[in-house]
A and B are shown apart, each in its own frame.
Chain A
């Protein structure tokens, strides 16, 4: 099972772009990369998922290099409300014996 490593915490300021990198050196061929966001006192919520290159939605962008051993979640022009914990998960969409592993995630604090 692919293990992920991400920074425990990050600080940023309003209006800046934030990039959170997740390492997953032993990612398998059929694994996808999924990011979740958890606001204080709430459950995590899905924000983005990708397999390779770049994925963009209304919340974030996900950059995945060709070797897929890492991925970067990019939050453009963050605001105070982006303060949250961000989790990176790696696993197949179906099949196998996947066990969702959230861990501690990256705690992002956005300052005024």
Chain B
């Protein structure tokens, strides 16, 4: 009965490859997020979707493309992976019903540790 799940948990790949990380939430929330956490524990938001609509896009390279097939899923596809993409990626969701956003409680997934060689 995991609330927010991510797959895979670990991802090791070569530079230049394309990879995807999947996220699903069973909380019935309207808003989902992707965060990147670097080796210094700096946690930064990348994207936010509300009911499948992009509402936050924080200056992330075009190589990163989020896709939300429905409001329970938010997947992250990364093209042409670079060494600097190595990090832990967290998916989160919140009830926040309005597209304009707010600081409603977020529920995080367990993270996906991406290592680019």
Give the residues from 19 to 42 in chain A that come closer than 8 angstroms, CB to CB, to chain B: 31-32, 34, 36, 38, 41-42
Tell me whether B103 and A92 are in contact (CB under 8 A): yes
Q: Decide: B110 and A99 in contact? CB cutoff 8 A.
A: no
B44 within 8 Å of A by Cβ?
Answer: yes
**B90 interface residue, CB < 8 Å from A?**
yes
Q: With a 10 A CB-CB cut-off, give which of B35, B41, B97, B107 has the most chain A CB atoms.
A: B41
B43 CB contacts on chain A under 8 angstroms = 38, 44, 87, 102-105
- Count of residues in A whose CB is under 8 Å from the partner chain: 32
Please state if B100 and A100 are interface contacts (CB–CB under 8 Å). Answer: no
Q: How many residues of B contact A (CB 8 A)?
A: 28
CB of A26 to closest CB in B, whole Å: 15
B41 — which chain A residues lie within 8 A by C-beta?
38, 85, 104-105, 107
- Taking CB atoms and an 8 Å cut-off, the chain A residues in 42-78 that contact chain B are 42-46, 49
Shortest C-beta distance, B23 to chain A (Å), equals 11
**Chain B residues in 8 Å Cβ range of A44:** 43, 90, 106, 108
- B:90-106 near A, CB below 8 Å: 90, 92, 96-98, 100-106
A96 and B58 CA atoms in complex are apart in Å by: 16
Report if A81 contacts B (CB, 8 A): no
* Residue of chain B at shortest CB distance from A95: B100
Complex CA distance for A104 and B39, rounded to whole angstroms: 10
B66 at the binding interface (Cβ < 8 Å) = no
**Distance, CA A101 to CA B42, complexed state (A):** 10
Q: Once the chains bind, are B105 and A34 in contact (CB under 8 Å)?
A: yes
User: Shortest distance in angstroms between B95's beta carbon and chain A's nearest beta carbon?
Assistant: 10
Q: Which residues of A contact B101 (CB under 8 A)?
A: 94-99
**5 A-B interface contacts by CB (under 8 A):** A42-B110, A93-B102, A94-B97, A99-B58, A104-B43
Q: Which residues of B contact A (CB under 8 A)?
A: 4, 33, 35, 40-45, 56, 58, 90, 92, 96-98, 100-111
